[in-house]
């Protein structure tokens, strides 16, 4: 066991935990003020729900003894055998508990990400059930496939910190959900303008900050790889914030503050699978690309007309996909991508992209339908008019 | 001249504005208000204590128009704002003695 | 008595207040409103989608005064609020039947 | 019909509302405003620079009622809002020509 | 001296420092907008006042050479002998300065916690004097009793990260203060509804984040105990956020965002004394309990009618007490509680609870009365009407 | 290479990164609501712009092989040779990438600081060009002079964490800019009252938190010096928050929340050059002084009448200067100042102050004029009336 790595990963886990309140604010600022609390809640409460589920069986499903490359066994249910030393720890240098809790924070934020797609119209009770099922039936298996000894990792797919596990999976789920739940009342006729952009920028700042824990921590050690992942994360994010502004400026004439924040998140997403595998200069290239591509994806949404309220598909789905493929192209550190002469890696990445989208989309479809039929997921028009805060939580965000 | 105060649901603002523009209204002034009426309010909860909030967010649109244009404006606003549910709101019409356009100092119907 | 509603640019509040105080107005009530008129609004952009926002922030100042003081108040307000650019706003004058000072119960011109 | 505008202290809203409900008022519309008057404002400090803020937060309650109910409403509001300290506010009563209930299209006293 | 531990505890100290602005926002969002700054100030300025007092003599009173088990000597006044190496450091593995500053952050937040009880009606000048006295006469001795070599620690009372020192002490002081200062103008007739719940959620997020430093850092080393304390902290908090929602839902029909945030804080409080002594699954049990108990405590307050404005008694007093007793029941790591067959521990915990409540309540009573008689503590009705921001600070929180 | 130090400095780099969103909020709360986004943007986007420039050539100009004591060579352009091990790293104990990114965060925040001076009237396009040039022509050389092997460091000037490089340089630039750009429309007749002070306090809290990374991290190792720098930072900040309140109270009768926040920032600035060189008790003295001096500086501004909108000169210029001189007086750790009998150090500090102010002011003047003539920097009166958010970014901060 390595105490330096333990210290580093514990702090990184705290940083990743902080991302979820950050996401709550990022999303909360983008909705109308009558929905701010309900939106914040759908991220914040994942800290409660997912963490407890993770301890009960989520962690075991993801990291228990591999069963056919598909799922983890039940060895670690109720954190059985997950202790203060490194016995049984997937990371030998870390106490098993440290590894478990670091992974827990990733599990927390993933279903929270999805909630942006159906913001302003999802009922709270159904949301909780949906999220619990999604965690166990989509996240845990996918996490196992990639990091827990499952087939995708065995195949050689590169996913440094969660391009597939976190971003593509939530992006695909978001697409499925926002089609199934349908549009918000007033979509198309009313302008849904963010009610508090400073809150969104604050959220973006917290996300950027916490993401250092996400990506550098994914080195699972305080070594040079961690340093590289830290730097690539920062540089890609910086580049994407700029390129989003350039896209806006070329397209509509004005660079916006929300654009800078959105670009930053797009960059963070895109570099996530690549962070430890590429050099900082390629990270800048990936970041520049991400800003343009995700901006384009959102334009496309406006054309296609589905109501992905906070652009989860455009940013996490597309950004994660681009990042996964870019990893197959630019990887040169501890792995070899296209530019290192290994074209196969790109093919492997492609397979992992298709599998992730397919699996997440189909499973989400089933779960959504099941919950919708039994408990019900969509708020009525009247509830949407009053606002989800009053309708679902009997609260209002602000009193001046 | 007449002042027409239209108190209605917040999400009807755009429709009313469009309807009035459509019949030639050139200006209006809008206010966010809270209404108390038959519609009733809602319950709020704060750490286990329940409060009844009687006031519902509404918007108030003030339009000043020539006397003989008033009834047309009232009709258009009524049509645009109506949902048929309790809480659609009210329109009040009251007399205005004088109107001044600050920019030019014009007065009367010229100034509207 | 008359109620004078002055709708004008937000940054003119202090100047109008000072002008009215200067000629002896003792009280007024101010409101933040949104105006729609010839001035036009502005474009807003939200993740690549453009929206036209037709409403411009304005302030509305209500002053109730004695009948024969009204025209002086209107003149002073017009002068203070004028920039000459579109969007300076309007002044509406309307009749008031009765005024009560809540503190004392006084009514009529005493109460203003 | 009459419009009664009650401008008073913010923390009196509940009491006034209850008093008016008590005598049979079925609806009202409330607005947060800023008042300037004898009460005076307060000093604000910003990094060593002092500013005088002349405006005090107030609420304005608009109630439209039948002509012969007006004086009762005024009396009830006066009683509920009075503290006897400077700044209690004013009540303005003014004529209303017409009232429409948007939901039903009813007009006149029916619509109140 | 251990450099890993030094790095870890310095970062933890930064995290704990961040809790105080977090608390300022948590509290600030709960009051009416006319009191937001005064409320924020009463937390924020503790960073100034307490830190300087801590350097002058607070640290020495708490950690100086023990005098009769009751108080520390004056060896360390003006940080005399508190240096860059571990000479004289209560934690041998840490530079003495590192240990001192980590403890300083605990001292800062404790009086800030109390301020929630008398929010919206306490004058600033009196508050400053009250807090200074409280720090030196209540916090410093209590801290000495538990961690500085005093009688309570010697007796064997378990308090991993401050259940008694921080939470019970501030809870008892809060109860005393809110009874003595009396109710806010309008209490009982007006609804005091929070003016900015997103701000409160942000504060809760920061508290959760910083609390990892508080509890894991209390291991004073980057070891397996720290990992365990980190995990128990997270799991108890998650569970308490959920159980508070369940309580609300069963009681009033709606789960609220404020409930999730309040539950989280209740869980953080309750696990504080236990964090290093219990396993993660028992932490979940403690967390579930804390959510229900603190919710119940607040119901009780509404019945009893005292005006503990922001529920310091219900959350910190009750939560800390429950946590202290639960530690006596569930401790199995480095200590033995009831379930490990050691019933005596529960008795010891009980004694520490009684002593802490008694000492803090009585001392607070004396200090409050003394300051009230000389300087005056309560704002007039007229000042409360205008709002404490204008009355006490000549400022307003917002200008739209 | 030292893994402990690597872990510590990576986390510190994340903390320093977080300061820039913190600054964005600190500044954003102080302006009128119609300018909140534009103000936030001018800090936030530096994370994008400066980081990419730093990778391209900024780092190399600052830390490349010294050329005549004036500037770094081009060895490290495009991060060439900046790798995962310590080869070529100015800090032998750290991966070169770790050192580079830690420095990057300092480069990011410095031009962001300047933006407070011309807030509410600077056009965005010109601002971006101005900042890019300023980074390369002012920050990079200055950074080289002090830390990169340049003449100022060689001369023996003490600047632990950036009193000259960060604060005096931005303060001098701020003075130059606010004189050149001229006043805001309405200056002198209108009161420019902050629109959201809780946001500003939050910003101050984040700055305080992040500054631990800034100052303790500047030890570049997790040693006793880092512990000392951490403690001095905290104590000076605490003392300055208090002394600013005392100044306000003596001067105007009321202690304000903004005063506490402003004092804290003044203390953080003043201790920056001194943090690793002075003892905690002298840090308290420096902090007390900083609160009074910066408050006085702002009074002076009000007299002189230039429109330094958010008091960059008063706080960063003056605070940094005072701190630099105080370092020459109070240094006793790893260096000797006046009180250690070394009067010469004070003289050296004085020279460094004059050189920094002179260089930054003159260069800023040239850059400003060049950009103003070509692209244009000041918004029209009409744009200022509408607000910079709409005029420059087609956005509004809030929709209620
Ligand atoms: N007498 C009144 N005076 C002023 N405003 C009124 C009055 N009655 C109703 N309103 C306003 O009209 C709104 C709608 O009234 P309500 O009684 O709820 O429904 P409806 O208009 O369908 O009868 C109220 O919220 C209030 O703002
Ligand atoms: N007919 C009207 N009724 C009510 N308010 C009006 C009317 N016309 C204009 N206003 C108010 O006056 C403001 C200024 O009017 P606008 O047409 O833009 O410019 P101008 O006053 O220079 O003619 C508007 O924003 C609106 O608030
Ligand atoms: N002439 C007026 N026109 C409009 N509003 C007024 C007028 N006079 C007073 N008010 C309103 O009444 C409020 C209270 O008035 P003030 O003079 O302070 O005290 P009082 O009502 O006790 O005489 C003011 O803040 C303002 O909102």
Cα B93 to middle of ligand 1, angstroms: 14
Give the integer Cα–Cα distance in Å for A7 and A13.
10
User: F41 contacts in C (CB within 8 Å)?
Assistant: none
In 3D space, the residue among E399, C89, E120, E381 whose CA is nearest the CA of residue D55 turns out to be E399
Contacts of D53 (CB under 8 A, 6+ apart): D41, D42, D43, D44, E396
**Locate tokens 């070899």: which residue?**
A336
For the stretch F199-209, pLDDT in tens is 999 999 999 99
Which ligand sits closest to the CA of D91?
3
In this prediction, residue A252 carries a pLDDT of: 80
C14:F189 CB<8 A: yes
Is the pLDDT reported for residue A189 higher than 90? no
- Does the structure's ipTM exceed the value 0.85? yes
Average pLDDT over residues E306-318: 97
In this prediction, residue F191 carries a pLDDT of: 87
In chain D, whose CA is at the least distance from the CA of B92? D99
Average pLDDT over residues F244-264: 96
Task: Please check whether residue F302 touches D, CB under 8 A.
Answer: yes
Answer yes or no: are the C-beta atoms of E17 and E206 closer than 8 Å: no
Is the pLDDT reported for residue F252 higher than 90? no
Question: Among partner residues F205, F226, F238, which is closest to E18 by beta-carbon distance?
Answer: F205
Q: C-alpha dihedral over F186, F187, F193, F195, to 10 degrees?
A: 60
In this prediction, residue A400 carries a pLDDT of: 78
Distance of alpha carbon E374 from the chain centroid = 27
Give the integer Cα–Cα distance in Å for B6 and E384.
36
For the stretch B21-79, pLDDT in tens is 999 999 999 999 999 999 989 999 999 899 999 999 999 999 999 999 999 999 999 99
In this prediction, residue E189 carries a pLDDT of: 87
Structure tokens at A289: 């690309």
Q: How confident is the model at residue E22 (pLDDT cuts 50, 70, 90)?
A: very high
In this prediction, residue E191 carries a pLDDT of: 87
Instruction: List the end-to-end C-alpha distance of chain D, in Å, as a whole number.
Output: 9
Give the integer Cα–Cα distance in Å for E367 and A6.
44
For the stretch E334-390, pLDDT in tens is 999 999 999 999 999 999 999 999 999 999 999 999 999 999 999 999 999 999 999
Q: How confident is the model at residue A334 (pLDDT cuts 50, 70, 90)?
A: very high
**DSSP per-residue string spanning A286-331:** HHHHHHHHHHHHHHHHHHH----TT-HIIIIIHHHHHHHHHHHHH-
In 3D space, the residue among F178, F117, F105, F176 whose CA is nearest the CA of residue F143 turns out to be F105
User: F112 contacts in A (CB within 8 Å)?
Assistant: none
In this prediction, residue F189 carries a pLDDT of: 87
For the stretch F165-214, pLDDT in tens is 999 999 999 999 999 999 999 998 888 999 999 999 999 999 999 999 99
In this prediction, residue C5 carries a pLDDT of: 98
For the stretch D3-60, pLDDT in tens is 999 999 999 999 999 999 999 999 999 999 999 999 989 999 999 899 999 999 999 9
In chain D, whose CA is at the least distance from the CA of F259? D47
Q: How many residues does chain D have?
A: 112
Answer yes or no: are the C-beta atoms of E313 and E169 closer than 8 Å: no
CATH fold of A3-392, please? Ammonium transporter fold (1.10.3430)
A191:C47 CB<8 A: no
Handedness of CA F130, F133, F135, F141 (dihedral sign): negative
Mean pLDDT of chain F: 97
Probe ligand 3: pick from D5, D10, D35, max atoms within 8 Å of CB?
Answer: D35
- Across chain F, the runs of DSSP E, i.e. the strands, are 66-67, 71-72
Average pLDDT over residues A200-215: 98
Interface of F with C in 179-208 (CB under 8 A): 186, 189-190
Atom of ligand 3 nearest to the CA of D36: 25
**Locate tokens 């050690």: which residue?**
A221
Give the integer Cα–Cα distance in Å for F105 and F10.
11
Question: Among partner residues A7, A201, A225, which is closest to F84 by beta-carbon distance?
Answer: A225
In 3D space, the residue among F273, F244, F262, F394 whose CA is nearest the CA of residue F331 turns out to be F273
Average pLDDT over residues A348-367: 98
In 3D space, the residue among C69, C72, C66, C83 whose CA is nearest the CA of residue C10 turns out to be C83
Average pLDDT over residues A150-155: 98
Structure tokens at F387: 């607000």
Give the integer Cα–Cα distance in Å for C97 and D1.
12
Pocket of ligand 3 (CB under 6 A): C 27-29, 62-64, 101, 103, 112; D 7, 35-39, 56, 58, 86-90
In this prediction, residue F253 carries a pLDDT of: 84
User: C30 contacts in D (CB within 8 Å)?
Assistant: 33-36, 55
Is the pLDDT reported for residue A241 higher than 90? yes
CA distance F257 to chain E (A): 6
Distance of alpha carbon F75 from the chain centroid = 27
Probe ligand 2: pick from B17, B27, B73, max atoms within 8 Å of CB?
Answer: B27
Mutate to test the interface with F, among C11, C56, C58, C87 (most CBs of F within 10 A): C11
Q: Is C2 helix (H, G, I), strand (E, B) or coil?
A: strand
Answer yes or no: are the C-beta atoms of C7 and C35 closer than 8 Å: yes
CA angle D46, E20, E221 (to 5 degrees): 145
Mean pLDDT of chain A: 97
Average pLDDT over residues D58-83: 97
Give the integer Cα–Cα distance in Å for F389 and A65.
55
| Domain positions in chain F | 3-392
Q: How confident is the model at residue E302 (pLDDT cuts 50, 70, 90)?
A: confident
Probe ligand 3: pick from C6, C27, C104, C105, max atoms within 8 Å of CB?
Answer: C27
3-state DSSP helix/strand/coil % of chain F, to nearest 5: 70, 0, 25
Is the pLDDT reported for residue A371 higher than 90? yes
| Domain positions in chain D | 2-111
Q: How confident is the model at residue A35 (pLDDT cuts 50, 70, 90)?
A: very high
Contacts of A47 (CB under 8 A, 6+ apart): A17, A20, A21, A108, E208, E237, E238, E241, E264
Give the integer Cα–Cα distance in Å for A229 and A283.
10
3-state secondary structure E220-283: CCCCHHHHHHHHHHHHHHHHHHHHHHHHHHHHHCCCCHHHHHHHHHHHHHHHCCCCCCCCHHHH
In this prediction, residue F400 carries a pLDDT of: 78
C78 CB less than 6 Å from ligand 2? Answer: no
Cα D92 to middle of ligand 3, angstroms: 11
Is the pLDDT reported for residue C77 higher than 90? yes
CA distance E48 to chain A (A): 25
Give the integer Cα–Cα distance in Å for D5 and C13.
22
CA distance F301 to chain C (A): 24
Structure tokens at E273: 């004394």
Q: Is F19 helix (H, G, I), strand (E, B) or coil?
A: helix
In this prediction, residue F190 carries a pLDDT of: 86
Task: Please check whether residue B11 touches D, CB under 8 A.
Answer: no
Q: What is the largest CA-CA distance in chain A?
A: 61
Q: How confident is the model at residue F302 (pLDDT cuts 50, 70, 90)?
A: confident
Instruction: Let me know how many helices (H) and strands (E) chain F has, helices first.
Output: 18, 2
Percent of chain E past pLDDT 90, that is, above it, reads 98
Cα B27 to middle of ligand 1, angstroms: 24
Give the integer Cα–Cα distance in Å for A133 and A114.
13
- Using alpha carbons only, how large is chain A's radius of gyration in Å? 20
The residues that bridge with C98 in the sheet, in sequence order, are D93
- Across chain B, the runs of DSSP E, i.e. the strands, are 2-9, 28-36, 42-46, 49-53, 56-65, 90-95, 98-101
* CATH 3.30.70.120, domain D2-111, yes or no: yes
In 3D space, the residue among A182, A153, A142 whose CA is nearest the CA of residue A62 turns out to be A142
The total of other beta-carbon atoms located within 10 Å of residue A170's CB is: 32
Give the integer Cα–Cα distance in Å for C36 and F351.
60
Question: Among partner residues F5, F15, F197, which is closest to E14 by beta-carbon distance?
Answer: F15
Pairing mode of beta strands D42-46, D49-53: antiparallel
The total of other beta-carbon atoms located within 10 Å of residue E192's CB is: 21
Give the integer Cα–Cα distance in Å for A247 and A260.
11
The one-character DSSP state at F198 is H
Average pLDDT over residues F48-58: 98
Give the integer Cα–Cα distance in Å for E39 and E31.
8
Residue C94, φ and ψ in degrees, nearest 5 = -140, 160
Q: How many residues does chain B have?
A: 112
B94:D95 CB<8 A: yes
Handedness of CA E75, E77, E78, E82 (dihedral sign): positive
Question: Among partner residues F7, F209, F280, which is closest to E17 by beta-carbon distance?
Answer: F209
Contacts of A55 (CB under 8 A, 6+ apart): A78, A79, A104, E235, E280, E281, E284
Give the integer Cα–Cα distance in Å for B111 and C91.
9
């Amino acid at each position: 066991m390595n105490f330096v790595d333990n210290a580093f990963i514990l702090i990184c886990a705290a940083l990743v935990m902080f991302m979820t309140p950050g996401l709550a604010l990022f999303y909360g600022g983008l909705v109308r003020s009558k929905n701010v609390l309900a939106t914040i809640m759908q991220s914040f409460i994942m800290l409660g729900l997912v963490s407890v589920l993770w301890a009960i069986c989520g962690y075991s499903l993801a990291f228990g003894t591999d069963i056919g490359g598909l799922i983890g066994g039940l060895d670690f249910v109720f954190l059985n055998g997950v202790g203060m030393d490194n016995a049984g720890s997937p990371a030998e240098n870390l106490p098993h508990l440290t590894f478990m809790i670091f992974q827990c924070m990733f599990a927390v934020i993933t279903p929270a990400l999805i909630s942006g797609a159906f913001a302003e119209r999802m009922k709270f009770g159904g949301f909780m059930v949906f999220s619990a099922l999604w965690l166990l039936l989509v996240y845990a298996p996918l996490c196992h496939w990639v990091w827990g000894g499952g087939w995708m990792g065995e195949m050689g797919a590169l996913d440094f910190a969660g391009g597939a596990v976190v971003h593509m999976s939530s992006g695909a789920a978001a697409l499925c959900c926002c089609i199934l739940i349908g549009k918000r009342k007033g979509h198309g006729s009313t302008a849904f303008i963010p009610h508090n952009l400073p809150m969104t920028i604050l959220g973006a700042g917290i996300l950027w900050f916490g993401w250092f824990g996400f990506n550098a921590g994914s080195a699972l050690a305080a070594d040079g790889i961690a340093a590289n992942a830290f730097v690539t994360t920062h540089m890609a994010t910086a580049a994407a914030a700029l390129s989003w502004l350039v896209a806006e400026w070329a397209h509509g004439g004005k660079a916006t503050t929300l654009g800078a924040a959105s670009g930053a998140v797009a960059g963070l997403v895109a570099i996530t699978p690549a962070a430890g595998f590429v050099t900082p200069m390629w990270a800048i290239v990936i970041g520049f690309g991400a800003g343009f591509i995700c901006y384009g994806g959102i334009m496309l949404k406006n054309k296609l007309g589905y109501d992905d309220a906070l652009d989860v598909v455009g940013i996490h789905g597309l950004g994660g996909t681009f990042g996964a493929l870019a990893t197959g192209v630019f990887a040169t550190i501890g792995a070899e991508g296209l530019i290192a002469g290994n074209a196969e890696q790109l093919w492997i990445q492609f397979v992992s992209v298709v599998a992730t989208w397919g699996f997440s989309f189909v499973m989400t479809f089933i779960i959504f339908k099941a919950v919708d039929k039994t408990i019900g997921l969509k708020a009525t028009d009247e509830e949407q008019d009053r606002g989800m805060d009053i309708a679902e939580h009997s609260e209002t965000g602000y009193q001046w | 001249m007449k002042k027409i105060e239209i108190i209605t649901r917040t999400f009807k603002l755009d429709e009313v504005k469009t309807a009035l523009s459509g019949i030639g209204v050139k200006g209006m002034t809008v206010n966010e208000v809270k209404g108390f009426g038959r519609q009733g309010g809602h319950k709020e909860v704060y750490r286990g204590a329940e409060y009844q909030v009687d006031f519902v967010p509404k918007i108030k649109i003030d339009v000043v128009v020539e006397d003989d244009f008033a009834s047309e404006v009232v009709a258009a606003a009524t049509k645009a704002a109506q949902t048929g549910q309790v809480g659609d709101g009210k329109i009040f019409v009251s007399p205005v003695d004088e109107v001044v356009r600050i920019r030019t100092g014009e007065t009367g119907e010229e100034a509207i």
